[in-house]
Amino acid sequence: MAHNGLKVMDSDMHVMEPGDLWKRYIEPEYRNIAPAGPEKIAHPRLHGVEMPGKQLTSPLVGLKWFDPLVRHMEPQMADYAYAVERNWDGVSQLHAMDKEGIDIAFQYPTKGLAVLGIDSVEFVGERGIEPAFAAAIARAYNNWMYDFCKPDPKRLIGVAMIAPHDVDAAVAETRRCVKQLGFKGIFLLPGLIKGRPWHHPDYDPLWAECERLDAAVGFHGGVPDQLTDFGLGLTESLMMRHTFSHCLGPMSAGVALCSGGVFDRFPKLRVGLLEANCSWAPWLIGRLDDHYLDYTGRFEIKLSRKPSEFFKRNCFVAVEPEEHAVRNFVEWFGDDNVVFSTDYPHPDSRFPHAVELFMKLPLTDNARRKFLWDNCARLYGI
């Protein structure tokens, strides 16, 4: 499906999970408290999720965002008719990939971006979730994802949901998903569990297992959850919140990993900071270098190289199809660390014109080839 002779790999395509996923796939002891979609779907591209006795998202989400989202999406709905008709199954995912011109796509969740956005009971009490239950939610999703990809597992590639509430369980599930299910990486919400930043040594066994398995780690923002508020309190306006939230979460994870010693301890670990744009990196990573070299950083931690050098060696960021400021990234960091994504089928996706729009960005042919294929192949180790 070459575009001007270029193959295309989508680093971050989304599924629309069925509302009864967890009721069908979770272990019996958790079935009565499992997450589920609402009985009535308000819009075919706006699928919520609920969990008995738990508040997963802000109640303002439904009240304030629904009408603007529907008005934004309505002109595009004909492009999603086949997926809606087939209830967003794997066959419809392949159809969408064909329509956009995608050869291979790595599958990320929609409902699954909300279900683990809740802290551990050990840290927040009854408002939280038992670590064993969090791990069961992830296992159920991953088993469903394995079945979802069956229509063509060479093109539909799973990325595992991992619950970091119990690191030993997270390590075991990472190993199972890579070894038994054939997934190529794991994804984590960037919000903090138990107040532990991502460079905390408690997570070292997880990074060690990902490095050993040659599995990518993807950080991906989600809905307004019960973890870190990367929307900075701007919940009433989706425009305002979304401008911050999907970027600040992965940015925060990137800062922790690049300056917290993780990449010294695990030099072969590969991390994707996804659906967060890429043009922020020259400013933020440059500022991080300054704080390490010319401020307090060098007295707080001894790193073998500058944070920016870890960023270039270990991290990947995703470009938006209309992100013309990508030229600033290339000027600073070159063209080896950017991957392409469609964000299908979310409201801000440019489907089925994402690749077409990307091809208009101010990039060389060599950079386009790397962004559309080579870099994503390196991130996910294929």
Please indicate, yes or no, if residue 141 is contained in any of the structural domains.
Answer: yes
Please indicate, yes or no, if residue 2 is contained in any of the structural domains.
Answer: no
Dihedral (C-alpha) 243, 244, 250, 251: value to the nearest 10 degrees?
110
What is the full per-residue pLDDT of the chain (382 aa) written as tens digits?
Answer: 667 789 999 999 999 999 999 999 999 999 999 999 987 888 889 878 999 999 887 665 556 788 999 999 999 999 999 999 999 999 999 999 999 999 999 999 999 999 999 999 999 999 999 999 999 999 999 999 999 999 999 999 999 999 999 999 999 999 999 999 999 999 999 999 999 999 999 999 999 999 999 999 999 988 888 999 999 988 888 899 899 999 999 999 999 999 999 999 999 999 999 999 999 999 999 999 999 999 999 999 999 999 999 999 999 999 999 999 999 999 999 999 999 999 999 999 999 999 999 999 999 999 999 999 999 999 999 9
- Listing DSSP states for 305-325 in one string gives S-HHHHHHHHEEEEE-TT-TT
Please indicate, yes or no, if residue 1 is contained in any of the structural domains.
Answer: no
What sign for the dihedral angle of Cα 127, 28, 15, 199? positive
- Listing DSSP states for 223-257 in one string gives SS-SS--TTTT-TT-HHHHHHHHHHHHHHHHHHHH
Whole-angstrom Cα distance, residue 198 to residue 229? 16
| Exposure of 2 in the CB half-sphere (CA atoms within 13 A) | 4
Q: Which helix (H) or strand (E) holds 274?
A: strand 271-274
Please indicate, yes or no, if residue 157 is contained in any of the structural domains.
Answer: yes
Tokens 């994707």 sit on residue: 272
Tokens of 214: 């040659």
Q: Is residue 190 within 8 Å of residue 218, measured between CB atoms?
A: no
Tokens of 284: 């933020």
Nearest by Cα to 88 from 31, 9, 50, 145: 145
Whole-angstrom Cα distance, residue 371 to residue 382? 15
Please indicate, yes or no, if residue 272 is contained in any of the structural domains.
Answer: yes
Radius of gyration of the chain (CA): 20
Nearest by Cα to 8 from 133, 96, 67: 96
Output the pLDDT for position 42: 81
- Listing DSSP states for 93-122 in one string gives HHHHHHHHT-SEEEEE-SGGGTTT-S-BHH
Output the pLDDT for position 56: 86
Please indicate, yes or no, if residue 260 is contained in any of the structural domains.
Answer: yes
- The domain total for the chain is 1
- Residue 257 CB neighbour total at 10 angstroms: 27
- In the three-class reduction of DSSP (H, G, I as helix; E, B as strand; rest coil), residue 302 is classed as coil
Please indicate, yes or no, if residue 253 is contained in any of the structural domains.
Answer: yes
Output the pLDDT for position 313: 98
Whole-angstrom Cα distance, residue 355 to residue 106? 16
Output the pLDDT for position 58: 66
- In the three-class reduction of DSSP (H, G, I as helix; E, B as strand; rest coil), residue 173 is classed as helix
Output the pLDDT for position 381: 98
What is the spatial order of strands in the sheet that 104-108 belongs to?
9-14, 104-108, 156-158
- CATH number of the domain that 90 lies in? 3.20.20.140
Output the pLDDT for position 62: 57
Domain around 191? 9-380
Please indicate, yes or no, if residue 214 is contained in any of the structural domains.
Answer: yes
- Tell me which amino acid residue 193 is: I
